[in-house]
A and B are shown apart, each in its own frame.
Chain A
Amino acid sequence: MIPASFEYAVARDVADAIQLLGSSGGEGKVLAGGQSLIPLMKFRLAQPGLLVDINRVKGLSDIRENGELRIGALVREADLDMNAIVRERYPILVDTTRVIADPLVRNMATIGGNLAHADPANDHPATMLALRASVVARGPKGERVIPIDEFFVDTFTTVLAPDEILTEIRIPKRPAGGGGAYLKLERKVGDFAIAGVAAMVVMDEKGRIAAASIGVTNAGPTAIRARKAEDILRGQSPDDKTIAAAAAAAAGESKPWSDLRGPAEYKLDVIRVLTQRAIRKAVARATGGK
């Protein structure tokens, strides 16, 4: 399959990329890892007039932690997986990146693309909702920081303007007593999630859940936050009854659809079970376990 013809330009830096996008009359698309965009173009579901290749832009591929974790939008999934800070302190990100597509795709695919593509089946959105992340966007009017809760508008749609570029993901520093996990059920390696659940908890010194946040993959037109489940967990001990109640609430807040990956009813039960497991794993990690 061959994409429709398009114009191609290599951006020298972010400002250049913004200018190129602005000059395209809304026909431009950013080419980062290309692992979602190029298949869409081959199916001709996307026919951009101009591709702005940002792969040679410097300064978008760093991972740093000072005050917060900052991940450049162009960081490849394979590099996120191998990063020492991420491996030691943010295992939820390792959980997430390792279930995205397959190792070959992860050599190209970027974390920024996974978010900006805004596919509810993508895995980073739920994890970023659970991590209470922000994304940094740069456009002709300068830079803005967008809380992840406000980023996703609809399937394949974010609040990014056509000439704005996602440059960085900011994640609050892992607090003392904090832990998280992402679990995904997939039919095979490389498939999209039947369902996926990201859970983050902060435990207080009495062993209660001081704060919790839960994101769900493939549970609606965008990844969703299971706020009722979070409310149930807050202030409680992580006992079986509380976790079961939170998991039931998370399923109740989810709106999966029936497709080749299973009927909606089945997926709701998968979400319920994965939520329980993700909370347990998050609590275990928050209290020093793996």
Chain B
Amino acid sequence: MAVATAPTTSRGQRTHKIHVTVNGVPHDVEVEARTLLVHFLRENLNMTGTHIGCDTTNCGACTVLLNGRAVKSCTVFAVQADQATVATVEGLEKDGKLHPIQEGFHQEHGLQCGFCTAGMMMTAVAFLATNPKPTELQIREAISGNLCRCTGYVNIVKSIDHAARVMRETAEGKA
């Protein structure tokens, strides 16, 4: 998490004013130092698309992008996101059009109960940005920090592969 801008937080305090851009929208909010990023998103911003699953850094249901990197937001403090950008599942859809990863999960039936889906999709978005043409094994490795307790991994892998294909075709101007 490389953050170039100087922090605005005051030093050695229990509460801090932070400036965070979530899905392109800037927020200036005062938070307790102990507020976890996932609680900040869900409770301060009322953005409940990011889920809390295990709360112990295992399941990845809370995955968001912090400055473009997929992280478990239950294991990052909100103050650490001061001056940073955060991307959540709510930001995937643009102008009523689903993101290719959402299309992929729709087309390939990539969800059953849906609890892990937001985290799965955010991990996949960051992964496909660095690896636009992944193998099945690479997809499986990439989502190895995200648990699906419906065990629907076969279709999740297909969904991510579907999105990769669509995104490649779009990039090549065929779509």
Query: Which residues of A are in contact with B by a Cβ distance under 8 Å?
Result: 1-10, 20, 31, 34-35, 38-39, 41-42, 50-51, 53, 55-56, 61, 78, 101-105, 107-108, 189-190
A37 to B174, CA, bound (A): 47
**In the complex where A6-B14, A20-B12, A38-B76 touch, is A107 in contact with B69 (Cβ < 8 A)?**
yes
A50 to B123, CA, bound (A): 32
A8 to B8, CA, bound (A): 12
Chain B residues whose C-beta falls within 8 Å of the C-beta of A5 in the assembled complex: 14, 32-34
User: B55-63, B86-94, B148-156: which one contacts chain A?
Assistant: B55-63
A9 to B92, CA, bound (A): 33
Interface flag for B53 (CB, 8 Å) = no
**In the complex where A34-B77, A105-B57 touch, is A7 in contact with B33 (Cβ < 8 A)?**
yes
Interface flag for B79 (CB, 8 Å) = yes
Q: Are B144 and A51 in contact (CB under 8 A)?
A: no
Q: Are B145 and A101 in contact (CB under 8 A)?
A: yes
Q: Are A190 and B145 in contact (CB under 8 A)?
A: yes
Chain A residues whose C-beta falls within 8 Å of the C-beta of B167 in the assembled complex: none
Query: Which residues of B are in contact with A by a Cβ distance under 8 Å?
Result: 1-3, 6-7, 9, 11-14, 16, 32-34, 36, 39, 55-58, 60, 63, 69-72, 74-77, 79-80, 82, 123, 141-142, 144-146
A108 to B9, CA, bound (A): 21
* Interface CB pairs A-B, < 8 A, 11: A2-B36, A5-B33, A9-B9, A34-B76, A38-B75, A55-B1, A56-B7, A61-B2, A102-B60, A107-B69, A108-B1
Q: Are A56 and B3 in contact (CB under 8 A)?
A: yes
Closest to A10 in B: B7
Q: Are B72 and A53 in contact (CB under 8 A)?
A: no
Closest to B143 in A: A103
Chain B residues whose C-beta falls within 8 Å of the C-beta of A3 in the assembled complex: 34
Beyond A1-B55, A38-B57, A50-B12, 17 additional pairs, beta carbon < 8 A: A2-B34, A3-B34, A5-B14, A7-B12, A7-B14, A8-B13, A34-B80, A35-B57, A38-B75, A38-B76, A41-B34, A51-B33, A51-B77, A56-B7, A61-B2, A102-B60, A103-B123
CB B135 to nearest CB in A, in angstroms, measures 15
CB A54 to nearest CB in B, in angstroms, measures 11
Q: Are A104 and B70 in contact (CB under 8 A)?
A: yes
**In the complex where A8-B33, A56-B7 touch, is A42 in contact with B55 (Cβ < 8 A)?**
yes
Closest to B146 in A: A104
Select which of A10, A55, A104 is within 8 A of B9 by beta carbon: A10
Q: Are B80 and A53 in contact (CB under 8 A)?
A: yes
Chain B residues whose C-beta falls within 8 Å of the C-beta of A20 in the assembled complex: 11-12
Chain B residues whose C-beta falls within 8 Å of the C-beta of A61 in the assembled complex: 2
A2 to B71, CA, bound (A): 18
Closest to A3 in B: B34
